[in-house]
Amino acid sequence: MKFGVYVPCLVVACVATLAFGELFSSMAHLETALYAERDIAVAIKDYIHEEEKRLDKLRKIANDFSEHSSKALASDKNLLANPINAYLYMKRFTLDWDKEVAPNFQSDPDSDVHKKIEELKGYLPTYQDLKGAVTALLRLQDTYKLDTNHLAQGRIRSMMANSMSANDCFEIGKLAYQSEDFYHTAMWMQASLEKEEEEKNKTVPRSLVLDYLSYASLMQGDVERALLLTNELLTILPHHTRSQNNRKYYEKLLEEQRRKQHRRGEDGEEPEAKEETNQFTERPLDDYRKSEEFQTYESLCRGEDTHNYKLKHKLKCRYVNKNNPRLLLKPAKEEEVYLNPWIVVYHDVVSDKEIETIKKIATPKLDRATVHNPRTGKLETAEYRVSKSAWLKDSDDPVIHNVNNRISDITGLSMESAEELQIANYGLGGQYEPHFDFARKEETSAFRDLGSGNRIATWLTYMTDVDAGGATVFTSIGVKLFPIKGAAAFWYNLYRNGDGIFDTRHAACPVLVGQKWVSNKWIHERGQEFRRPCSINMDE
């Protein structure tokens, strides 16, 4: 019995011990588990917090995209017609997208949202476009002498675009740096530094900008500045090895320069000219761009007077009807802009409705960006959007037919040997450097295939006003024509004996803001034998 009692007791005790022991350890586990549970809650909350931040970012980006697009689509002004906005827009879908948008998508690549975005991204600007936009912006900055800080504030003349961040300026500088253009690198890195100073939420590390700027300064021959900037960089990143080495190198260079100066002084020579150390601070120009003609072209584009001709009192405006019944009903409004060579502008020669029709027909035919290179005489694929063009036949639409007839009525010239109407669309920075429209004697092959002789005259219709830039300028006489929608310029390219009139050399200035549509009608010699009207000029 005892045994009987004992045994179960023992068993109970054992069981009890076991049970208590287990209970004890489970309690301990439980406590750990409770802590774990608490920590899991924290982790989930952290995760939610991070996800919310991610979603907040995405929400902000989506709101920003829809706000920008609806504003741009609702506005009758094309916001992207401003080169600053165009750059920021290209940057948004390239650099900013890769850095700020893409990392915020975590869903699986087969998800609907991914597929949709991938599909739509095909319509968005690419890195190639970004590079093009920066090239255009820098070219415009040079031609129109635009101040970097004004541009960074979003200002072009009196027009306002979006303001740039330090990062926006930095990326322009970086693209310039990648094409070894240290002149623009230095300008834009400097602008970036100034922006960075003002920024509450920094968009670029100051040390990074200093790094580029000091190198660009060195490449421009300004060692002193390179050292100064490197010293500042080292106050931010004291252990930056490359900069430590640069510092030593710059100090050595400066020391050598000083010694050289000193020696020169002792030898009684003039101290070294400042240009020698600052030899790269000028805008880098090839030989053609250094030429007087190119300088005149750019001055005229900026609206400056280069030739100071005083013809104003001699120039006339008149109604022209040429005894043509159609013109008797609606005479042409002729405004003289130059007498020798004779250049006139006819106002209101095409209506807004006709222009819309012409643009619509031309748009799907617009060719790649090509430019007639005046130095090689060839049509070349050129830098970003110089101009795109399309040729329209009379048979394409009654409007084309009517427009050609009107040109014939007003000029009194036959269209039988004229080229098809050429429609050109210039985008931002779009230009056409100084050239003649006629073929020179040495260009024997030009127009030979046409069998219609040389281009006797040019008719150039402006199909848009251009917000800024985009003038047609005559570089050897200093005439500038700013596009007026619906007006057309007309001039003869050849004297009566068929020789070219060299003073008709002209160019299309880069479009600064807006876009420019023109249509060209080149009228040839054949068929004009009895039509070319008496000239005002005896020497024609």
Q: How far apart are CA 449 and CA 441, in angstroms?
A: 15
Q: Under the criterion CB under 6 A, does residue 432 sit at the interface with ligand AKG?
A: yes
Q: What's the token pair of residue 361?
A: 């027909």
Q: Under the criterion CB under 6 A, does residue 506 sit at the interface with ligand AKG?
A: yes
Give the nearer residue to ligand AKG in terms of CB position, either 187 or 518. Answer: 518
Give the nearer residue to Fe ion in terms of CB position, either 156 or 481. Answer: 481
Give the nearer residue to ligand AKG in terms of CB position, either 176 or 507. Answer: 507
518 makes contact, choosing from ligand AKG, Fe ion, none, with CB < 5 to 8 Å by partner type, with ligand AKG
Q: What's the token pair of residue 432?
A: 């056409």
Segment interacting with Fe ion, rule: CB under 5 A, options 66-74, 90-98, 318-326, 435-443 = 435-443
Tell me the closest approach of the beta carbon of residue 485 to Fe ion, in angstroms: 19
Give the nearer residue to Fe ion in terms of CB position, either 206 or 385. Answer: 385
Instruction: Show the binding pattern over residues 370-399: x = contacts ligand AKG (CB under 6 A), - = does not.
Output: ------------------------------
Cα-atom radius of gyration of the chain, to the nearest Å?
35
Question: ∠ CA 284-287-289 to the nearest 5 degrees?
Answer: 65
Give the nearer residue to Fe ion in terms of CB position, either 171 or 437. Answer: 437
417 makes contact, choosing from Fe ion, ligand AKG, none, with CB < 5 to 8 Å by partner type, with none
Cis peptide before 341 (omega within 30 of 0): yes
Give the nearer residue to Fe ion in terms of CB position, either 280 or 391. Answer: 391
Q: How far apart are CA 190 and CA 166, in angstroms?
A: 10
508 makes contact, choosing from Fe ion, ligand AKG, none, with CB < 5 to 8 Å by partner type, with ligand AKG
Give the nearer residue to ligand AKG in terms of CB position, either 150 or 359. Answer: 359
Q: Under the criterion CB under 5 A, does residue 437 sit at the interface with Fe ion?
A: yes
Q: How far apart are CA 505 and CA 83, in angstroms?
A: 28
Nearest to 489 by CA among 465, 516, 458: 458
Give the nearer residue to Fe ion in terms of CB position, either 222 or 437. Answer: 437
Tell me the closest approach of the beta carbon of residue 80 to ligand AKG, in angstroms: 21
Whether the Cβ atoms of residue 194 and residue 153 lie closer than 8 Å to each other: no
Tell me the closest approach of the beta carbon of residue 199 to ligand AKG, in angstroms: 41
- Give the full edge-to-edge strand order of the sheet including 343-347: 317-320, 332-338, 343-347, 488-492, 455-462, 516-524, 421-426, 388-392
Tell me the closest approach of the beta carbon of residue 387 to ligand AKG, in angstroms: 7
Give the nearer residue to ligand AKG in terms of CB position, either 236 or 379. Answer: 379
Tell me the closest approach of the beta carbon of residue 375 to Fe ion, in angstroms: 15
Tell me the closest approach of the beta carbon of residue 507 to ligand AKG, in angstroms: 7
Q: How far apart are CA 472 and CA 507, in angstroms?
A: 6
Whether the Cβ atoms of residue 397 and residue 420 lie closer than 8 Å to each other: no
Determine which residue in the list 211, 354, 396, 437 makes contact with ligand AKG, applying CB under 6 A: 437
Tell me the closest approach of the beta carbon of residue 435 to Fe ion, in angstroms: 6
Q: How far apart are CA 300 and CA 306, in angstroms?
A: 7
520 makes contact, choosing from Fe ion, ligand AKG, none, with CB < 5 to 8 Å by partner type, with ligand AKG
Q: How far apart are CA 228 and CA 251, in angstroms?
A: 10
Q: Under the criterion CB under 6 A, does residue 433 sit at the interface with ligand AKG?
A: no
Q: Which residues touch 180 (CB under 8 Å, ≥6 apart)? A: none
Q: Under the criterion CB under 6 A, does residue 504 sit at the interface with ligand AKG?
A: no
Instruction: Show the binding pattern over residues 446-475: x = contacts ligand AKG (CB under 6 A), - = does not.
Output: --------------x-----------x---
Q: Under the criterion CB under 5 A, does residue 298 sit at the interface with Fe ion?
A: no
Three-class SS string for 138-178?
HHHHHHCCCCHHHHHCCEECCEECCCCCHHHHHHHHHHHHH
3-state helix, strand, coil in the chain (%, to 5): 50, 15, 35
Q: How far apart are CA 333 and CA 151, in angstroms?
A: 39
Q: Which residues touch 53 (CB under 8 Å, ≥6 apart)? A: none
Give the nearer residue to Fe ion in terms of CB position, either 433 or 437. Answer: 437
Q: How many residues bind Fe ion (CB under 5 A)?
A: 1
Instruction: Show the binding pattern over residues 509-528: x = contacts ligand AKG (CB under 6 A), - = does not.
Output: ---------x-x--------
Segment interacting with Fe ion, rule: CB under 5 A, options 311-319, 369-377, 429-437, 462-470 = 429-437
Q: How far apart are CA 287 and CA 398, in angstroms?
A: 47
**Site residues for Fe ion per CB under 5 A:** 437
Binding footprint of ligand AKG on the chain (CB under 6 A): 424, 432, 437, 460, 472, 506, 508, 518, 520
